[in-house]
A and B are shown apart, each in its own frame.
Chain A
Amino acid sequence: RKEVEQDPGPFNVPEGATVAFNCTYSNSASQSFFWYRQDCRKEPKLLMSVYSSGNEDGRFTAQLNRASQYISLLIRDSKLSDSATYLCVVGGFKTIFGAGTRLFVKA
């Protein structure tokens, strides 16, 4: 079992759609959780940190369920510019990235 697993994707959605990404992690001792965004041939950039209480940043909502070892990212009202790969990241003694889920938003 991979330490961090994400939906394999790709997700193809029309503009304005709501899309949800899921991620599970295996190490219950993990302490920090993030979503990063990576555009084609670019470096990953932080989208948002993830907290047990849930957090929201504009159209983006992230949720952490420690009991189920599950992390989610919800994007509302998708824009063409949201097209990218979304990486789930779990930190502890070392940082583990998921393989990423590719999102294509179409006009």
Chain B
Amino acid sequence: ETGVTQSPTHLIKTRGQQVTLRCSSQSGHNTVSWYQQALGQGPQFIFQYYREEENGRGNFPPRFSGLQFPNYSSELNVNALELDDSALYLCASSPWTGGIQETQYFGPGTRLLVL
């Protein structure tokens, strides 16, 4: 058991709506990364948070935004949902060691379906 938890496990939304996904990091980990995984593809990096600030971002539009809280838990917010946003959203936590990516531990993910 990795200790990373995510909620909800499944979610169904319609186009144009907004969604918030939540993640609790593993104890002792201060860095949280979010990924989008479409069916049949590898996870795509959305962004990473360290000490409550965004610390790197992939090729995702601004309607994907996030937060990290003092207890290192995190939220991913997606506005104006599109059909292509349907995917598995994975959260991963890791310790920060000065810029070098350490092993990440993944939560079980949230499956989002946009209709």
Interface residues, chain A, with chain B CB atoms under 8 Å away: 4, 31-32, 34, 42-46, 49, 87, 91-100
Known: A97-B42, A99-B41. Is A92-B108 also a contact (CB below 8 A)?
no
Q: Which of A87, A95, A98 contacts B33 (CB 8 A)?
A: A95
Quick one: which of B1-38 are within 8 Å of A by CB? 2, 33, 35
Known: A31-B100, A31-B101, A99-B41. A94 touches B58 (CB 8 A): yes
Roughly how many angstroms separate A95 CA and B107 CA in the complex, as a whole number?
16
Give the Cβ gap from A85 to chain B, nearest Cβ, in Å: 9
Task: Give the A-binding residues of B (Cβ under 8 A).
Answer: 2, 33, 35, 40-45, 48, 56-58, 90, 99-109
* Alpha-carbon separation in the docked complex, A49 to B102 (Å): 9
A42 touches B108 (CB 8 A): yes
Chain A residues whose C-beta falls within 8 Å of the C-beta of B43 in the assembled complex:
44, 87, 97
In the complex the two chains form, is B42's CB within 8 Å of A91's CB?
no
Q: Please, which residue of chain A has its CB at the minimum distance from the CB of B105?
A: A46
Q: How far is the CB of A6 from chain B (nearest CB, A)?
A: 8
Contact of B106 among A4, A44, A93 (CB under 8 A): A44
Which residues of the other chain, A, contact B57 by a CB distance below 8 angstroms? 94
In the complex, the answer to whether B42 meets A95 with C-beta atoms within 8 Å is no
Residues of A within 8 A of B105 (CB): 46
* C-alpha spacing A87/B48, complex, angstroms: 20
Query: Can you show 17 pairs from A to B with CB atoms below 8 A apart?
Result: A4-B42, A31-B99, A32-B100, A34-B103, A42-B108, A43-B90, A43-B107, A43-B108, A45-B2, A45-B106, A46-B104, A91-B101, A92-B101, A93-B56, A94-B58, A97-B44, A99-B40
Nearest to A96 among chain B residues (CB) is B45
